[in-house]
Amino acid sequence: MGGDGGADPVIHFVFVHGASHGAWCWYKLTTLLDAAGFKSSSVDLTGAGISLTDSNTVMDSDQYNRPLFTLLSDLPPHHKVILVGHSIGGGSVTEALCKFTDKISMAIYLAAAMVQPGSIPSPNLSNFHVGEEEIWEYIYGEGADKPPTGILMKQEFRRHYYYSQSPLEDVTLSSKLLRPAPVRAFQDLGKLPPNPEAEKVPRVYIKTAKDNLFDSVRQDLLVENWPPSQLYVLEESDHSAFFSVPTTLFVYLLRAVSFLQR
């Protein structure tokens, strides 16, 4: 969405995936948006999706988020985007919001980590993708005597925690495409310094009501700690709303951005 001056009238959504997923997970939503005349982009963060980087070699959030930062820095002058992040991808959205404030007209958090820059993150968030220990497989890319470099949900738990309301075809698709997430990229989640300019950008939170991974109590805590300008609830959604309720999510996104045009 354009800024002042030579504004671009096209509303442009940029989607950021969560742990282990990639740009591929947004395929239903980007299809709906493109068919409706909007512009959409989805990025593979470093080591995710079809990125050629081994996720075990990703050392920090800056390296992990580089594809998103490159996309934003390459935008034409006065061109702004609606940035949408899922799950732990909310951390990437907030980092981008602080680094590229003038390129973002709205930040939307979908069942996502939404932590105010400069605040003290809740212990629940530092363990955002740990949950019950037995559901995770740890990858020790630098040897068993070193800390883990990657984390991946075990296949037998994915249906329940990620996709309990999603079509089986999407569960099958994801089983072929999920990759270990780089643990070290998430160590700084919620540890950004205060950023008054980023605070001025409108934020939206979209809650997933039937989420078995990121429960309602923790989502409500995020909203309470950093109140957004708009709050929506996807009553029938599991953790992966882009699979389980893509049409409702599409409608909510359009409703959210309509406030920018008032």
Residues 39 and 13 sit within 8 Å (Cβ to Cβ)? yes
Q: Which of 21, 174, 239, 240 is catalytic?
A: 239
Six-digit token pair at 93?
């959205």
Angle between helices 61-73 and 89-99 (to 10 degrees): 60
What does the block give as tokens for 111? 């069942």
Q: How many CA atoms lie within 13 A of 30 on its CB side?
A: 17
Identify whether 170 is a catalytic site residue. Answer: no
Determine the angle formed by the axes of helices 246-258 and 27-35, rounding to 10 degrees. 50
Contacts of 123 (CB under 8 A, 6+ apart): none
Of the residues 20, 87, 92, 164, only one is catalytic, namely: 87
Structure tokens at 221: 């805590």
User: With left for phi above 0 and alpha for psi between -120 and 50, is residue 5 left, alpha or beta?
Assistant: left
239 is an active site residue: yes
> Is 44 one of the catalytic residues?
no
The beta strands (E) that lie in the chain are given as: 12-16, 39-43, 81-86, 104-110, 136-139, 150-153, 181-182, 203-208, 230-234
Q: Considering the candidates 44, 170, 211, 238, report the single residue annotated as catalytic.
A: 211
> Do 260 and 202 touch, CB atoms closer than 8 A?
yes
Rounded Cα distance between 194 and 131, Å, is 28
Query: What is the Rg, in whole angstroms, of the alpha carbon atoms belonging to the chain?
Result: 17
List active site positions: 87, 211, 239
